[in-house]
């Protein structure tokens, strides 16, 4: 349902939208879609923001406060649907508090965080490089020639593994510029995890994997078995946490990783959107791209404090596999040294002796 307003000049009903229907004298565009906080700041300095107003989408005359208070009606966007799905709230539902001028000043106060302005002040969905993987960047960075398992590599690789009835493995070569994913595959396993251990151990041998980070569930025995049959320190199970603010990204304790889910996914978002992850020219990359679009970061204010979390509805397994892969990457010294070296870790991490691979 949308709460429409009736224009007192032409009797046209419409849903008031700040971006489409607000007018700021001195701003030349037909709407405010391209208005930035810097331009808005200049308009404020010149006194134009105080003169802004909400205009009728049909006759373009100003909508008065009386219109916004008295001439309102809830209207269904899809009248044929019998179930009630929700209400779309507009800031102009509180017209004395959310005036066009005050909304523009909020845009200025958010500065570069325009997505927050649209989410928090306008109540609109918004995706950009701060809360979503940009698919066009993934497509642009799909430039790596895949390396088939039987060919092997001359140096060493790192890996990430998301486990389930189908497990999702990504393998990459770390470089000074980022990571080149050279192989990705789905590993179908039995209800008890049968088949996972053999395939993962084989891939670790074929790709000379120096460090693999895997989720610790649901097949914990398989993870422990893989770790027991690998060189010491080469396999680290990861336990996600949701609210431990003491963990900046992740920490290595003994033989496992404790990771802040939101913060590590934020790091993966940043590295991919900064073009530090390159993807293989392989049919499996189509699935990777779909999974990377399945999760979005939600930012909201709760109890006066801004909180963030990642949510989605579709399959997102490769997103987590790459998240684990990039935890492996952040622990290497990016130098291309062969397996068996003692990796230089980020500040605050324990040392990981990756041992010698067979």
Confidence of residue 358 (pLDDT cuts 50, 70, 90): very low
The alpha carbon dihedral of 38, 43, 47, 49 has a sign of negative
pTM for the model stands at 0.69
- Average of pLDDT values for 159-171? 94
For residue 190 the two structure tokens come to 């039995």
Q: Name the burial class of residue 149, with classes exposed (0-12), middle (13-18) and buried (19+) by CB atoms within 10 angstroms of its CB.
A: middle
Residue-wise pLDDT tens digits, 207-241: 999 999 999 877 778 888 899 899 888 999 999 88
The pLDDT score that the predictor gives to residue 111 is 86
What's the alpha-carbon Rg for the chain, to the nearest Å? 26
The pLDDT score that the predictor gives to residue 241 is 83
The pLDDT score that the predictor gives to residue 108 is 94
CA end-to-end distance (rounded Å), the chain = 64
Instruction: Give dist(CA 208, CA 8) in Å, integer.
Output: 73
Which residues contact residue 206 at a Cβ distance below 8 angstroms, ignoring those fewer than 6 apart? 149, 150, 152
Percent of the chain with pLDDT over 90: 57
Instruction: Give dist(CA 260, CA 238) in Å, integer.
Output: 10
For residue 119 the two structure tokens come to 């989410």
Are residues 151 and 207 in contact, defined by beta-carbon separation less than 8 angstroms? no
Residue-wise pLDDT tens digits, 36-93: 999 999 999 999 999 999 999 999 999 999 989 998 988 887 777 767 667 888 899 9
DSSP string, 197-235: HHHHHHHHHHTTEEEEEEE--S-HHHHHHHHHTS-TTSE
Mean per-residue pLDDT over the chain, rounded? 85
Residue-wise pLDDT tens digits, 122-163: 988 777 788 899 999 999 999 999 999 998 888 899 999 999
The pLDDT score that the predictor gives to residue 345 is 32
């Amino acid at each position: 349902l949308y709460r429409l307003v009736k224009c007192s000049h032409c009797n046209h009903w419409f849903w008031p939208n700040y971006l489409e229907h607000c007018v700021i004298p001195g701003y030349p565009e037909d709407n405010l879609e391209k208005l930035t906080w810097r331009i808005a700041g200049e308009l404020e300095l010149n006194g134009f923001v105080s003169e802004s107003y909400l205009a009728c989408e049909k006759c373009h005359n100003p909508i008065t406060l009386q219109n916004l208070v008295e001439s309102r009606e809830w209207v269904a966007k899809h009248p044929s649907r019998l179930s009630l799905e929700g209400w779309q709230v507009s800031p102009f539902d509180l017209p004395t508090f959310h005036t066009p001028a005050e909304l523009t000043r909020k845009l200025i106060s958010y500065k570069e965080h325009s997505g927050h302005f649209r989410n928090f002040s306008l109540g609109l969905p918004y995706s950009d490089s701060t809360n979503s993987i940009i698919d066009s960047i993934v497509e642009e960075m799909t430039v790596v020639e895949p390396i088939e398992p039987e060919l092997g590599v001359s140096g060493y690789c790192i890996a990430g593994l998301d486990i389930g009835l189908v497990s999702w493995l990504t393998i990459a070569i770390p470089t000074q510029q980022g990571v080149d994913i050279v192989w990705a595959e789905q590993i179908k396993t039995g209800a008890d995890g049968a088949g996972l251990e053999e395939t993962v151990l084989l891939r670790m041998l074929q790709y000379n994997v120096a460090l693999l980070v895997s989720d610790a569930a649901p097949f914990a025995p398989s993870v422990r078995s893989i770790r027991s049959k690998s060189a010491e320190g080469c396999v680290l199970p990861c336990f996600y946490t949701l609210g431990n603010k003491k963990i900046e990204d992740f920490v290595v304790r003994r033989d496992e990783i404790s990771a802040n889910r939101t913060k590590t996914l934020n790091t993966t978002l940043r590295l991919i959107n900064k073009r530090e992850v390159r993807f293989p020219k392989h049919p499996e990359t189509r699935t990777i791209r779909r999974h990377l679009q399945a999760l979005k970061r939600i930012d909201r204010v709760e109890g006066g404090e801004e909180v963030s979390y990642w949510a989605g509805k579709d399959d997102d397994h490769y997103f987590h596999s790459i998240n684990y892969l990039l935890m492996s990457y952040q622990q290497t010294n990016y130098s291309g040294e062969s397996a068996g070296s003692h990796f230089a870790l980020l500040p605050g991490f324990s040392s990981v002796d990756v041992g010698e691979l067979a």
